[in-house]
Amino acid sequence: MKVALFVPCYVDQFYPQVGIATYQLLGKLGLQAAFPAAQTCCGQPLANSGCEREALPIYRHFVDTFHTYDYTVVPSGSCVYHVQKHFDKLEQTPAVQHVRATTIDLIDFITNILEIKELPGTYPHKVGLHLSCHGQRGLHQANESEMTPVRDGQLRRLLAGLDGIELTELDRNDECCGFGGTFCVSEAAISGRMGHDRVQDHLRNGTQVLTGGDMSCLMHLQGIVRRQKLPMRVLHAAEILNGLTP
Amino acid sequence: MSYLTHASRAEAFTLDHERTSWHDETLWFVRQKRDKAVYAVPEFQELRNLASAIKDHTLSRLDEYLAQFEAAAQANGVRVHWAANAAEHNAIVLDIIRARGATRVVKSKSMLTEECHLNPYLIKEGIEVIDTDLGERIIQMRDEPPSHIVLPAIHLKKEDVGATFFKHLGTAEGLTDPQQLTEAARQHLRAKFLAGEVALTGVNFAIAETGSVVVCTNEGNADLGASLAPVHVASMGIEKLVPRLSDLGVFTRLLARSATGQPVTTYTSHYTKPVEGREMHIIIVDNGRTQQLGRPDFRASLKCIRCGACMNTCPVYRRSGGHSYDFTVPGPIGSILSPNIDLKKHSTLPFASTLCGSCTDVCPVKIDIHVQLYKWRQIVSEANHLPTAKKLGLKFMGRLLASPTAFKVSGMLGRKGLRLLPYGLTHNKTVNAWAIARELPEPPKQSFREWYAQQAQPAT
């Protein structure tokens, strides 16, 4: 299986450790992922701001970079959702169709493609899982409170399988964190307030390590945790699953 | 002309931290009631599919169903009027009132008449209009627009209501007991009901095969108004139709559960024909709906049954308040309806969302609200209604992200800059909105690509 790693633009620049954890985790699962150096971004920041047309060259560049791989694995559900859903604006060549069908979130790749339901490891900490909306509602990686009271999902199961871990039960299991791409600056007051409320839910319910599958939500939440000097570590799920201890 | 943005009005709302918490929790409570009611109905998702399909079908043959409805209503002895816009609607209402020589009107909740700004129009013409829904009456006294389509005074606390009634109804100063306040409103409204000469109501559903209209309330105020007054005028948008009476049950099962978590509204009243010697009128209003029907990407917004579930679930609405939208219908659904009416004025509303998608998932008729928000953003941008600085920044970003070299170099410079520049500059709140509530990420020495380049690679 020929697997490429797409490291989202802001992860590449600000959170290299998340890319490294993803790369190493795939290695432990027997896959030598390639990192095509020409990669940049999926174009979502522009498109979500209304500049889909300006994003088209980025889409084409993404397809050119990744169309020769069996899978393009991404440690971010949001980027994957964008590629799958919004690359419909490109002419649907075989390459575009292939990239849309095979660009996949890391957790989906582990559980659905590699069919690994449990990873070895010990993690004796209280962990709060933040569900990214694009991963949960967009890619259907987790149950939604709009539909069912049962809290379940792929990442929740993988984490719950670690020895010694305790998962935080939140008051609001799947409320949006308020990042929202450029929303975080264009609606800074609401974005900040939403993030504050999300972090408080974790704090109230005892989260020591805040994690999730999408670094963009976590970047925003970490910014609030650090501003408020809260006793909480923020880590991408790939870092935990790769065996990092806080 | 420039307009206030949603963000600026929202920011003003959030300045009162405690009140924002209270507003958020109050509406979240309604969302939770909705969840409980939904979980208790195993076929709820099937009902949503069915409701969505019925509405899609109806909209696809709206012209036929409207003609069928008109003929059936006329056969029942109802007088049917057509209004292309708000002005025509208001003029028709005034004509009906004038023809009776009436001056006192009682009105139950109707978002359509809000949309048409009927109240100020009639008041200017010397007509007394009394809103009889409790929440509507409260905001009418305060001269405020509704902040929610189902819970019009949800932005007010009982202390606010007490102060309003003290001023307008002469209740004791500082009275905050909900039961006593409600009783004062009942006594006040009872006199108005008895004096009403013309009753105006909205319409929740109009049945094409029977020509009847269905009005859902919890207070029974529409029923009391329409039963007491000799003239009943029901105003409806063209999208309110369902084909058959047997379709109605799908919607009544969804409406109240989605809106407030009740199994059904307290009153679900069918109005088919006037009582002998009395008049019943139905005004069918377009006011931009045909235009929306002509937009393939947005016509599904006309399926809305005005339950308000998207408002209750929206994490932005709950923290910004309904008035921050400055449109008759606030929240996510309002943000996809309003650009159709005035794109420039409402250009910031499609951006008043994180696109989290919760609105779409609670919508009882499965309107793809967050998808339409995304699509309106493209149209706002194409029409050049984005703020200039934002547009230029995004264009620059577009070129940067399409070029691997430019991306690599600017990333390196950016990280270096963040490390070297003083904190006071990188976290300056007037320049960097990110830093108002958040720290910037700590810039690492090495990007992932730099780390990767140093790894020994197996030959591929």
- Is the per-residue pLDDT at B350 higher than 60? yes
Nearest residue to A246 (alpha-carbon basis) of A165, A136, A173, A150: A165
* Lowest pLDDT segment from A159-173, A184-198, B19-33, B409-423: B409-423
All residues at 6 or more sequence positions from A139 whose CB lies less than 8 Å from its CB, including other chains: A77, A80, A81, A84, A105, A108
The residue among A87, A113, A139 that closes a domain is: A113
Strand partners, A4: A34, A72
Contact B359, B369 (CB under 8 A): yes
Write down the residue that tokens 């004791």 correspond to. Answer: B172
Q: Are residues A135 and A73 both part of a single domain?
A: no
Domain that holds residue A184: 126-242
> What token pair was written down for B177?
């007991």
Q: What is the pLDDT of residue A166?
A: 98
Region label for B366, one of left (φ > 0), alpha (ψ between -120 and 50) or beta (otherwise): left
Cα–Cα distance between B106 and B101 in angstroms, integer? 15
Which amino acid does the sequence have at B322?
G
- Is the per-residue pLDDT at B457 higher than 70? no
The residue among B265, B290, B315 that closes a domain is: B290
Whole-angstrom CA distances from A65 to A42, A95, A107, B62, B410 are: 11, 10, 22, 48, 20
- Give the helix/strand (H/E) hosting B81: strand B79-83
Q: Is there a contact between B434 and A188 if contact means CB atoms under 8 Å apart?
A: yes
* Lowest pLDDT segment from A39-53, B73-87, B357-371: A39-53
Please indicate, yes or no, if residue B136 is contained in any of the structural domains: yes
Contact B299, B292 (CB under 8 A): yes
Q: Are residues A93 and A68 both part of a single domain?
A: yes
- Is the per-residue pLDDT at B200 higher than 60? yes
Domain count within chain B: 2
**Helices A215-227 + A188-204 axis angle, to 10:** 80
Cα–Cα distance between B324 and B322 in angstroms, integer? 5
Write down the residue that tokens 């994690």 correspond to. Answer: A211
User: B400: pLDDT confidence band, cut at 50, 70 and 90?
Assistant: confident
Q: Is there a contact between B7 and A146 if contact means CB atoms under 8 Å apart?
A: no
Q: What is the pLDDT of residue B427?
A: 86
The residue among B250, B265, B290 that closes a domain is: B290
The residue among B222, B257, B290 that closes a domain is: B290
Please, what sign has the CA dihedral across residues B16, B21, B22, B23? positive
Q: What is the pLDDT of residue A246?
A: 53
Q: Is there a contact between A35 and B452 if contact means CB atoms under 8 Å apart?
A: yes
Please indicate, yes or no, if residue B166 is contained in any of the structural domains: no
Contact A82, B429 (CB under 8 A): no
Q: Which of residues 1-20 of A touch B (CB under 8 A)?
A: 7, 9, 11-17, 19-20
Please indicate, yes or no, if residue A120 is contained in any of the structural domains: no
Q: Are residues A79 and A103 both part of a single domain?
A: yes
Q: Does A189 touch chain B (CB under 8 A)?
A: yes
pLDDT mean for each 10 residues of chain A (246 residues)? 94 95 96 95 92 94 98 96 97 98 97 94 96 95 96 96 97 97 94 98 98 96 96 97 78
Strand partners, B279: B231
Cα–Cα distance between B410 and B52 in angstroms, integer? 48
Q: Which residues of A touch B394 (CB under 8 A)?
A: 45-46, 49, 51, 54
- Cβ-nearest to B315 among A13, A176, A223: A176
**Burial of B168 per CB tally in 10 Å (0-12, 13-18, 19+):** middle
Please indicate, yes or no, if residue B438 is contained in any of the structural domains: yes
Q: What is the mean pLDDT of residues B195-213?
A: 98
CATH number of the domain within which B60 lies: 3.40.50.10420
CATH number of the domain within which A218 lies: 3.40.50
Q: Are residues A231 and A174 both part of a single domain?
A: yes
> What token pair was written down for B266?
């307290």
> Given the DSSP bridges, would you call strands B213-217 and B267-271 parallel, antiparallel or unpaired?
antiparallel
Residue from A133, A140, A190 to probe the interface with B (highest B Cβ count within 10 Å) = A190
Task: Name the residue in chain B with its Cα closest to that of A13.
Answer: B447
ipTM of this complex: 0.96
- Is the per-residue pLDDT at B448 higher than 60? yes
pLDDT > 70 in chain B, percent = 99
Angle at A46 between CA A225 and CA B416, to 5 degrees: 55
Please indicate, yes or no, if residue A119 is contained in any of the structural domains: no
Q: Are residues B203 and B69 both part of a single domain?
A: yes
- Cβ-nearest to A11 among B316, B433, B448: B448
Please indicate, yes or no, if residue A203 is contained in any of the structural domains: yes
All residues at 6 or more sequence positions from B394 whose CB lies less than 8 Å from its CB, including other chains: A45, A46, A49, A51, A54, B386
The residue among A92, A113, A134 that closes a domain is: A113
Q: What is the pLDDT of residue B432?
A: 85
Q: Which residues of B touch A192 (CB under 8 A)?
A: 436-438
Q: What is the pLDDT of residue A193?
A: 98
Q: Which residues of B touch A145 (CB under 8 A)?
A: 35
Q: Taking the mean position of all CA atoms in its chain, how far away is CA A98?
A: 21
Q: What is the pLDDT of residue B1?
A: 57
Cα–Cα distance between B389 and B121 in angstroms, integer? 40
Closest-CA distance, A50 to chain B, in angstroms, reads 4
Mean pLDDT of chain B: 94
pLDDT > 90 in chain B, percent = 85
Greatest mean pLDDT among B292-306, B413-427, B432-446 lies in: B292-306
Please indicate, yes or no, if residue A121 is contained in any of the structural domains: no
Q: Does A53 touch chain B (CB under 8 A)?
A: yes
Domain that holds residue B452: 403-456
Please indicate, yes or no, if residue A199 is contained in any of the structural domains: yes
All residues at 6 or more sequence positions from B400 whose CB lies less than 8 Å from its CB, including other chains: B406, B407, B410
Q: Are residues A84 and A137 both part of a single domain?
A: no
Write down the residue that tokens 């970079």 correspond to. Answer: A65
Please indicate, yes or no, if residue A175 is contained in any of the structural domains: yes
Q: What is the mean pLDDT of residues B194-210?
A: 98
Cα–Cα distance between B205 and B213 in angstroms, integer? 6
Contact B142, B164 (CB under 8 A): yes
Q: Taking the mean position of all CA atoms in its chain, how far away is CA A144?
A: 17
Per-residue model confidence as pLDDT tens digits over B47-66: 999 999 999 999 999 999 99
Contact A4, A35 (CB under 8 A): yes
- Give the helix/strand (H/E) hosting B41: none
Q: Which of residues 378-397 of B touch A (CB under 8 A)?
A: 378-382, 386, 390-391, 394-395, 397
Q: Are residues A132 and A81 both part of a single domain?
A: no
Cα–Cα distance between A158 and B12 in angstroms, integer? 42
Domain count within chain A: 2
Please indicate, yes or no, if residue A35 is contained in any of the structural domains: yes
Per-residue model confidence as pLDDT tens digits over B92-148: 999 999 999 999 999 999 999 999 999 999 999 999 999 999 999 999 999 999 999
Contact A83, A44 (CB under 8 A): no
Please indicate, yes or no, if residue B357 is contained in any of the structural domains: no
User: B371: pLDDT confidence band, cut at 50, 70 and 90?
Assistant: very high
Q: Which of residues 68-127 of A touch B (CB under 8 A)?
A: none
> What token pair was written down for B432?
């960097």
Per-residue model confidence as pLDDT tens digits over B246-266: 999 999 999 999 999 999 999
Strand partners, A209: A127, A233
Cα–Cα distance between B176 and B179 in angstroms, integer? 9
Question: DSSP letter string over A177-233?
Answer: -S-TTTHHHHTHHHHHHHHHHHHHHHHHTT-SEEEES-HHHHHHHHHHHHHTT-S-E
Nearest residue to A135 (alpha-carbon basis) of A114, A115, A111: A111
Q: Are residues A152 and A236 both part of a single domain?
A: yes
Q: Which phi and psi angles does B446 have, rounded to 5°? A: -125, 140
Cα–Cα distance between A245 and A241 in angstroms, integer? 10
